[in-house]
Structure 1
Amino acid sequence: MTAPALVHTRISHIRREPVDHRFAHRSLSWLVDIDRLPRLPRGLRWAARFRPEDHFPSPAAAGETLRGRLESYTDSVGAPRADGAVIALLSPRVAGYVFNPLSVFWCHDRDGRLRYVIAEVHNTYGQRHCYLVRTDGAGRAEVDKEFYVSPFNDVSGRYRLVLPEPGADGRIRLSVVLERPGRSRFTATLTGRAEPATPAAVVRAQLRTPLAPWVVAARIRLHGIRLWCRGLRVEPRPHPDTKERSR
Structure 2
Amino acid sequence: MPPAGFYRGEVIHARTRPTRHEFRYNVDFIVLDLPDLSAFAAAKPVFGRNRFAPISFHDRDQLVPSPDSVTALDRLNHVLVQAGRPTVTSARLVTFPRFFGFGFSPVSFWFDASSQSCAPLLLEVNNTFGERHIYHLSAEVSRCHVIDKTFFVSPFNATRGSYHVRFAPFDGRFSARVDLEVEDRPLLFTTLRGQFSHASRWSATTAAARCLASGTTALPFIWLQGLKLRKKGLKPLMRPNSVSTDTLVSEPPRTYKRHQDH
TM-score (ref. length: structure 1): 0.89
Closer, same or farther: CA 211–228 of 1 in aligned 2, 3 Å: same
Corresponding position of 1:99 = 104
CA distance in 2, matches of 1:246, 1:48: 27
1:157 aligns with 2:161: yes
Describe how 1:198-237 pairs up with structure 2 within 5 A.
198-210=200-212, 214-237=216-239
Deviation string, structure 1 residues 56-94 (Cα, Å, up to 9, x no partner): 1x22124101111101111112211123x3111111221
- Determine the structure 2 residue equivalent to 1:171: 173
After TM superposition, the structure 1 stretch with the greater mean CA deviation from structure 2, 175-184 or 32-41, is 32-41
Equivalent AA in structure 1 for residue 94 of structure 2:
L
Q: 1:119 to 1:210 in 2, by over 3 A?
A: farther
Change (3 A) 1:216 1:82: same
Letter in 1 for 2:135: Y
Structure 2 spans left out of the alignment, 5+ residues: 252-262
Separation in structure 1 between the aligned mates of residue 118 and residue 207 of structure 2, nearest angstrom? 30
Alignment size in residue pairs: 242
Alignment of 1:41-190 (within 5 A): 41-42=44-45, 45=48, 46-56=53-63, 58-83=64-89, 85-109=90-114, 112-164=116-168, 166-167=170-171, 170-190=172-192
Change (3 A) 1:246 1:98: farther
Which ranges in structure 1 are unaligned for 5 or more consecutive residues? none
> Which range moved further: 42-51 or 205-214?
205-214
Q: In 2, are the aligned partners of 1:173 and 1:192 still within 8 Å (CA)?
A: yes
1:150-198 deviation per Cα after TM superposition (whole angstroms, max 9, x unaligned) = 001111000011034633xx11111011001121000001121100010
Whether contact under 8 Å (1:100, 1:213) holds in the other structure is no
Deviation at 1:3, TM superposition (A): 2.6
**What is the identity, as a one-letter code, of the residue corresponding to 1:239?**
N
Secondary structure in structure 1 of the residue aligned to 2:116: coil
Shift of 1:129: 0.6
Could you tell which deviates more after superposition, 39-48 or 171-180?
Answer: 39-48
Q: Structure 1 106/97 Cα, relative in aligned 2: closer, same or farther at 3 Å?
A: same
CA RMSD of aligned residues (A): 2.3
Q: 1:139 Cα deviation (Å)?
A: 4.6
- Separation in structure 2 between the aligned mates of residue 127 and residue 213 of structure 1, nearest angstrom: 25
Structure 1 residues 240 and 180: alpha-carbon distance in aligned structure 2, compared to 1, 3 A threshold: closer
The structure with more radius of gyration:
2
Give the % identical residues: 26
* 1:236–1:211 Cα change, 3 Å: farther
Structure 2: how far apart are the matches of 1:10 and 1:116? 21
Give the whole-Å Cα distance in 2 for the aligned partners of 1:44 and 1:102: 21
